[in-house]
Amino acid sequence: MQAFTTHKGLVLPLDRENVDTDLIIPKQFMKSVRRTGFGAHLFDELRYLDHGEPGMNAENRPQNPDFILNQARYQQASILLGRRNFGCGSSREHAPWALQQYGFKALIAPSYADIFSNNCLKNGLLPIVLPEPVIDQLFEAVTRTSGYALTVDLVQQQVLAPDAATWTFEIDAYSKEALLQGLDEIGQTLTHADEIRAFEARHFSRHPWLRTQGDR
C-alpha cells in the first residue's frame, strides 16, 4: 500500500450520521473478489438515479444532482468529513477500497465503527477522530468556503486548517508506523524475511523428518 506522511486535500462534507458499509458500497458489488473497480460505485444508491449492478458503465448512468459527491465544487475531494458512527453495519473491506479508489486519502469524523476503522488502517486509509464540536466547526467552514482544504500531518498527528487552526488526533503506534512505511500486515511480516528463513533452517535441521518431499 502507499505510504502516508502528509496530505493536503479538498474536503467533502457528508452531513449524515450512521453511514453504514452497505451505503458506502452496496452488497451487490461485493460479488467481485478483485480489489479494483469499486470507486465508481461508492455511495451508489445515493449517487445515481438508477439501480446499480456489477459491470454497468458508470459514465452512462444518470447521476443524482442533489448528492454532494456529484456537485462540481467537491470534485477531486480527497478528505471526507463525516458524522458519528461512520462505517457501521457489516464488516467488508470493500468499503475502504471504494473510498480509497474514488480518491479519498483520509476521513475525519467524531467516531467510527471499530471494524471499519481497522479495515481502513490495514488498507492505507487514515480514519481521524476529532471532537464533535470541532467537526461542527469544520462542517460550517467547508460549506461556507468553496475550495476548503485541510492538511493532514500523520508524523505530527495533526490536522491543519487554512486559518492556522490545528487539531491533534490519536493513532496507535503500530498503525501509524505501518502507514508511514506503506506496509500492510503482509509487508510488515516480510521485513523479517531473513529472520523467518533462519528460523526455518534451524527448525528443519533439528527436525528433518518434518520436511515434505518438495522441501528437500
For the sheet containing 158-160, what is the strand order? 126-129, 106-109, 79-81, 6-13, 149-153, 158-160, 166-168
- Predicted pLDDT of residue 30: 85
Distances, alpha carbon 211 to alpha carbons 195, 201, 215, 216, in Å: 19, 11, 6, 7
Distances, alpha carbon 172 to alpha carbons 38, 126, 189, in Å: 28, 12, 18
Name beta bridge partners: 151. Answer: 8, 160
pLDDT in tens, 10-68: 999 999 999 999 999 999 998 766 778 899 999 999 999 999 998 888 889 999 999 99
Please say if the pLDDT value at position 99 is more than 60. yes
What is the chain's length?
A: 216
SS3 content of the chain, % helix, strand, coil (to 5): 40, 15, 40
To which H or E segment does residue 50 belong?
Answer: none
pLDDT in tens, 127-136: 999 999 999 9
pLDDT in tens, 140-183: 999 999 999 999 999 999 999 999 999 999 999 999 999 999 87
- Predicted pLDDT of residue 175: 94
- Predicted pLDDT of residue 20: 97
pTM of the model: 0.86
Please say if the pLDDT value at position 113 is more than 80. yes
What is the DSSP secondary structure assignment for residue 187, as one 8-state letter? H
Please say if the pLDDT value at position 2 is more than 90. no
- When pLDDT is averaged across residues 57-84 and rounded to a whole number, the result is 96
- Predicted pLDDT of residue 198: 76
| Beta-strand pair 166-168/158-160 | antiparallel
Instruction: Return mean pLDDT, the chain.
Output: 91
Please say if the pLDDT value at position 184 is more than 60. yes
Give residue 111's identity as a one-letter amino acid code: S
Which residue in the block uniquely carries the three cell numbers 464488516? Answer: 91
CA distance 128 to 86: 11
